[in-house]
Structures are given as structure tokens and as C-alpha cells.
Amino acid sequence: MLRQIINWIFILPIKFYQWVISPMFPPSCRFQPTCSHYAVDAIREWGPIKGIYLAIRRLSR
């Protein structure tokens, strides 16, 4: 339960980006799944520390 709450603290800003900010711009991620979806999946799978690290690594490619 606590892990889910902590994960959602980090996932909520990404979801806000996906729902509000991202639709205002043309698609720019060359990966499938998109970078933001990958970040959410990584945080859910690995937790916030490793998940954010993996997402940043992917964004820097």
C-alpha cells in the first residue's frame, strides 16, 4: 500500500503531462511505447528511484 502511494506521487506529474500538456504538441518521442508511458511502467515495475533513472536514461538517448 505504501509503495503504491509513493509510486503515485511520482506517476501523477507524468499523467498530468500526458493528459494536459502532451496533446498541445506534436508527437516527438521516437520510441514505442512513448517515453512518458515507459516512465510510468518503469516506476510501477522498479519503484521511483530506479524507474526515474531508467526513464532519464531513455530520454537521454
- The predicted-structure confidence for 14-55, as pLDDT tens digits, reads as follows 999 999 999 999 988 888 999 999 999 999 999 999 999 999
Q: Which pLDDT belongs to residue 27? A: 85
Are the C-beta atoms of residues 44 and 11 closer than 8 Å to each other?
Answer: yes
pLDDT at 30: 86
Quick one: pLDDT at residue 56? 96
pLDDT the model gives residue 36: 94
**DSSP class per residue in 1-35:** -HHHHHHHHHHHHHHHIIIIIGGGS-----SSS-H
CA 61/CA 41 separation, integer angstroms: 18
- How many other C-beta atoms are found inside a 10 Å radius of the C-beta of residue 23? 7
* pLDDT tier at 7, thresholds 50, 70, 90: very high
Q: What pLDDT was estimated at residue 28?
A: 82
